[in-house]
Structure 1
Amino acid sequence: MSSTQASDRAVAAPWYAAYPAPRNAQPESLTREQVLEMLKSSDPSGGGARKFLLVDLRRNDHEGGTIQGSINLPAQSLYPTIPTLYSIFKAAGIQTVIWYCSSSKGRGNRAAGWFGDYIADQGDTAMKSKVLREGIKGWAGAGDEYREWMVEYTPSTWEK
């Protein structure tokens, strides 16, 4: 095999090609306005647990800040962990998982679709898997009200 052929093989398939396509390529989504309202109306200091969880799927491009209360689960390692994540989220009383990446057009939709498939396969009608429309770029670019709900916000990242 020539070095060109080896190079073509190395770049031919994206990371997600190793996994099945989600049955729903366009999962249900939430606007940043809806998510901001959810954040504002859930006060963790009030003793009640949040019924939703934000998941930031970025890995190499995880810079510039993230939405308060989010956890970082890089999309590239997500698929094999879905059964475990489902069990953890279910035990924690999470009713809605909100996935996002930079724009939520690739990783966000894929993750929400995969997790939604798993939820459906469990016969679970209480938990929902949704995507944040426009991702973190849309959030960070929407003004001060949204940036106030970010941790480690770095203006220079979003000015590019």
Structure 2
Amino acid sequence: MDNENVIDPPTPWHAAYPAPRNPAATICREEVLRMMKQSAETASKNYVLVDLRRSDYQGGTIRDSINLPAQSLYPTIPTLYALFKGAGIRQVIWYCGSSKGRGARAAGWFADYIEDQGDTQMKSVALAEGIKGWATSAGGEYVEHMVEFDPSAWS
């Protein structure tokens, strides 16, 4: 075999950053929906949902999420932490398509940063099964809590 013709696969974007020290904790969609309903009733919200998708950001997103593409996340963690802390956020919920790649990585990185700050009040978790689980597995009430939901994007 001629090694000169072998093309190395491209380096993934996240290889430029350290791996999270610990596996990411997860939260189930049922708990997130409960939190959303509770915050709507009390007009008080101490969590933030972060959609990490960039080029695959179609089909809708969970209502009240902010979009921070994963590829630009790592260098902004200290600033995000300061903003979230100042806003009284106690739980940051990260998700991507499945929350197995970007979602888990972001939750882990942010949890590491929280730990480094000695903060025992804030948590960083990944949404189990990501937006795909929210939009396809759960359906019904879950898709009612989405913005720009497009069922054709999920088939």
TM-score of the alignment, normalized to the shorter chain, above 0.5: yes
- Note the alpha carbon deviations across 1:57-83, whole angstroms, 9 max, x for none: 000100000000000000000000000
Shift of 1:121: 0.3
Extract unaligned runs of 5+ from structure 2: none
Shift of 1:95: 0.2
SS of the counterpart of 1:97?
A: strand
Match of 1:147 in 2: 143
What amino acid does structure 2 have at the position aligned with 1:15?
W
In structure 2, C-alpha distance between the alignment counterparts of 1:32 and 1:130, rounded to whole Å: 12
What amino acid does structure 1 have at the position aligned with 2:144?
E
- Note the alpha carbon deviations across 1:94-139, whole angstroms, 9 max, x for none: 0000000000000000000000000000000000000100000000
SS of the counterpart of 1:12?
A: coil
* Structure 1 residues 43 and 60: alpha-carbon distance in aligned structure 2, compared to 1, 3 A threshold: same
In structure 1, C-alpha distance between the alignment counterparts of 2:135 and 2:127, rounded to whole Å: 13
For this pair of structures, how many residues does the alignment match? 152
| C-alpha RMSD of matched pairs (Å) | 1.6
In structure 2, C-alpha distance between the alignment counterparts of 1:47 and 1:68, rounded to whole Å: 15
Pick from 68, 75, 79: which aligns with 2:63? 68
Match of 1:111 in 2: 106
Which runs of structure 2 are paired with 1:1-160 in the superposition (5 Å)? 8=8, 11-24=9-22, 26-43=23-40, 46-48=42-44, 50-141=45-136, 142-159=138-155
Extract unaligned runs of 5+ from structure 1: none
